[in-house]
Structure 1
Amino acid sequence: MATIDRKATTLALAHALSAAERGLAVIPLSRTKLPTLRSPHRDDPDPTAPTCHGECGRFGHGVYDASTDPRRIRELFAAAPWATGYGIACGLRPHHLIGVDLDTKSGTDSSAALRELALRHLFTIPETVVVLTPSGGRHLWLSGPPDVVVPNSAGRLAPGIDIRGAGGYLVGPGSRTERGVYGTAPGTAQLTPAPCPPALLRLLLPPPRVAGRPALPPSADRHGQGLVQFVLAAHEGQRNTRLFWAACRAYENGIGPELAPALVDAAVRTGLTEREARSTVASAARMTA
């Protein structure tokens, strides 16, 4: 059982309720930045059963538990008294939040990479909410169109730039983690997420399928093997993200159905359950449809 820091939990709940007042759906997080409540289906005997996203009425479905209802939020935190932070679900009404995560751990200057993209594609990042991470990174909050689904990605836009979209979440300001406390940059706390520039939004979406394109391009075998190896190289904390990224690329290139079993097998070998792996691949298929 995790050590309970009641002061940190109380502060996290207060920050989460404040975020909910602004229309942001939240869930409790642990010091490791992961959802605090374990899946109620983790011991289900049938790994091929349809994935539950909260239809069962119980807690423990990660970002699908996210809510703006104060009563439900208090119930979530009451069920997880060891929570020290909260996550903000992306892609939901009214903001349809998109998070641009500028990381510092990759050894690259992600802020410079974003500026280079902006110059190359002729867009500017508007004044918006900026959250500072304990490791020196930044989260930029942007608002997407209601009819567009932005997928999660890691390093696809540029090295060190991760995107949090539908099905993802951002660590909320005021959260306490193992590395420190998240906080808003001066002068941005009261801002609302600014609309994502159209040119940037186009970069965040999967490339459109070309009519008449063959199901298997000539490089499918080599490309598919590379995606499988990418999943096999995942360390703990990267497994689901790498699998989702690889599955998105496979479906974008028309080899998703053929490569899906190999990707699931690779993910299981890294430590994911077969059910988790199949669910992630299915999410990638829906996102890139």
Structure 2
Amino acid sequence: MATTDRQATTMALAHALSAAERGLAVIPLSRTKLPALRSPHRDDPDPADPPCHGECGRFGHGAYDASTDPARIRALFAAAPWATGYGIACGLPPHHLIGVDLDTKTGTDACAALRELALRHLFTLPATVVVLTPSGGRHLWLSGPPGVVVPNSAGRLAPGIDIRGAGGYLVGPGSRTEHGVYTTAPGTAHLAPAPCPRALLRLLLPPPRTPHRPSPASAGRHGRGLVRFVLGAHEGRRNTRLFWAACRAYENGIGPALVASLVDAALRTGLTEREARATIASAARLTGRRP
């Protein structure tokens, strides 16, 4: 490895550890902005269903490897000595980060499009962390409410506006890529991610789907799969997994029948009954069903 690459890796690790001190879970990235560690399941003959998100204990699961633990972060970077940047996982506590990526490569003015959305839907963008990309784009950091899963999207709000939510990541400031270095905009480095305006949050969430009534047999199989999905949750992802499973259950018309099993599974992962029932109720509201 060239000296400059070693320096870039050292700096990326230092920036990643600093971000972790602020409660931001991180992973190493390559110069291409992709996770530096390849999936350990890339040669598996039969993909897991649901897919492995780190339950196997090995590195290489992208944003699902992200951690705030300094020892784990050092181990991740030690396994990827070619890393020159770091990614910040979105959707995880305590910030439940939502990234608004304003691109410049589409030939449109994404900043103007976001301002137009703010005027049309009556919200104000708060002062928050802004990261400048080498191509001239901007990443706005916002925090979401606990128990609400914001999905990733590209251009759904408007051309040039991408959203990084649960399962996604943002390139952290200080990262060096093929096109340059990501930096924090002047005057924003000291800020914490500001709460996402409610009107904007509603735009980021998918519309509730009309539930269908599966046959009792298929509902039973599907329900067991959702319960197993919750049981496989690690600390830091328990609410996210429970919320996802509860949404799927209500969308498929088996939510009320599955509440007790989901609560029991959540208790086994370490959540309290109050936390579990609140998360399930949030999923019921989001999908248009009464808890």
The verdict on a shared fold, with TM-score over 0.5 as the criterion, is yes
Once residues 94 and 172 of structure 1 are traced to their aligned partners in structure 2, the CA distance between those partners, rounded to angstroms, is 17
After superposition, the Cα gap between the structure-2 partners of 1:4 and 1:36, relative to the gap in structure 1 and judged at 3 Å, is farther
Alpha-carbon separation, structure 2, partners of 1:52 and 1:193: 29
Equivalenced residues, count? 218
Q: Which protein has the larger Cα radius of gyration, Structure 1 or Structure 2? A: 2
- Structure 2 residue 91 is matched with structure 1 residue 91: yes
Which runs of structure 2 are paired with 1:168-247 in the superposition (5 Å)?
Answer: 168-209=168-209
C-alpha distance in structure 1 between counterparts of 2:208 and 2:14, whole Å:
42
What is the aligned-residue RMSD (CA, Å)?
2.3
Write out per-residue CA displacement over residues 127-171 of structure 1, whole angstroms, 9 at most, x where no aligned residue: 000000000000000000002100000000000000000000000
Cα pair distance change 1:48/1:66, threshold 3 Å? closer
Q: Distance in 2 between matches of 1:2 and 1:150?
A: 40
Distance in 2 (alpha carbons) for counterparts of 1:190 and 1:208: 37
**Local SS of the residue matching 2:127:** coil
**Residue of structure 2 equivalent to 1:271:** none
For the Cα contact (< 8 Å) 1:4–1:82, is it kept in 2? Answer: no
Report how far residue 49 of structure 1 moved. Answer: 5.0
Structure 2 length-normalised TM: 0.71
Question: Is the Cα contact below 8 Å between 2:41 and 2:47 reproduced in 1?
Answer: no
Q: Kindly tell me: are residues 157 and 75 of structure 1, through their superposed partners in 2, closer, same or farther at Cα, counting changes over 3 Å?
A: same
Output the CA distance in 2 between the equivalents of 1:192 and 1:209.
Answer: 34
Counterpart position of 1:23: 23
Structure 1 equivalent of residue 113 of structure 2: 113
Alignment of 1:1-289 (within 5 A): 5-47=5-47, 49-209=49-209
Distance 2:210 2:63 in 1: 33
CA–CA distance in 2 between the matches of 1:149 and 1:177? 29
What do the CA deviations read for 1:224-259 (whole angstroms, capped 9, x no partner)?
Answer: xxxxxxxxxxxxxxxxxxxxxxxxxxx9xx9xxxxx
State how far apart, in whole Å, the 1-side matches of 2:213 and 2:134 are: 46
**Any unmatched runs of 5+ in structure 2?**
215-247, 252-285
Alpha carbons 2:86, 2:171 under 8 Å: kept = yes
How far did residue 209 of structure 1 move? 3.3
Aligned to 1:248: none
- Structure 1's 82 and 146: CA in aligned 2 closer, same or farther, altered over 3 A? same
Instruction: Tell me the CA shift for residue 47 of structure 1.
Output: 3.2
Q: Which amino acid aligns with 1:206?
A: P
| 8 Å contact kept, 2:101–2:140 | yes
Alpha-carbon displacement from aligned partner over 1:178-210 (angstroms, at most 9, x marks no partner): 000000000000100000000000000001235
Distance, in Å, in 2 between the alignment partners of 1:50 and 1:198 is 32
Q: State how far apart, in whole Å, the 2-side matches of 1:32 and 1:56 are.
A: 26
The C-alpha deviation readout for 1:4-62, integer Å capped at 9, x for no partner, is 81000000000000000000000000000000001111111113554111111111111
Amino acid at match of 1:187: G
* Corresponding residue for residue 239 of structure 1: none
Structure 1 portions without partners, runs of 5+: 216-250, 255-287
Question: Once superposed, which parts of structure 1, at least 4 consecutive aligned residues long, lie more than 4 Å away?
Answer: 1-4
What is the match of residue 219 of structure 1? none
Letter in 1 for 2:17: L
**Structure 1 residues 207, 30: CA separation in 2 closer, same or farther (over 3 Å shift)?**
same
